Amino acid sequence: MYTEAFLKAYNESRNGTDNFYRHPMVRNFAYSDGVRECAEASCYWMLDILATELPAQFRKFADVANTCEIVVTVANSKAVIAAMFEDGVVGWSKKISYTDMPEGVWKFFIADEDGSYRMILFTEY
Q: In what order do the strands lie in the sheet with 67-75?
A: 20-22, 29-32, 116-121, 104-113, 67-75, 78-86, 89-96
Give the CATH fold of the 3-124 domain: Nuclear Transport Factor 2; Chain: A, (3.10.450)
Q: Residue 103 contacts by C-beta under 8 Å, 6 or more apart in sequence?
A: 74, 75, 76
CA quadruple 25, 52, 14, 76: dihedral sign: negative
Answer whether 0.95 is exceeded by the pTM. Answer: no
The 10s digit of each residue's pLDDT in 52-87 is 999 988 888 878 788 999 999 999 999 999 999 887
Measure the CA–CA gap between 70 and 2, rounded to whole angstroms: 21
The 10s digit of each residue's pLDDT in 3-24 is 999 999 999 999 889 999 999 9
CA quadruple 87, 92, 97, 102: dihedral sign: negative
Q: Enumerate the domain spans of the chain.
A: 3-124
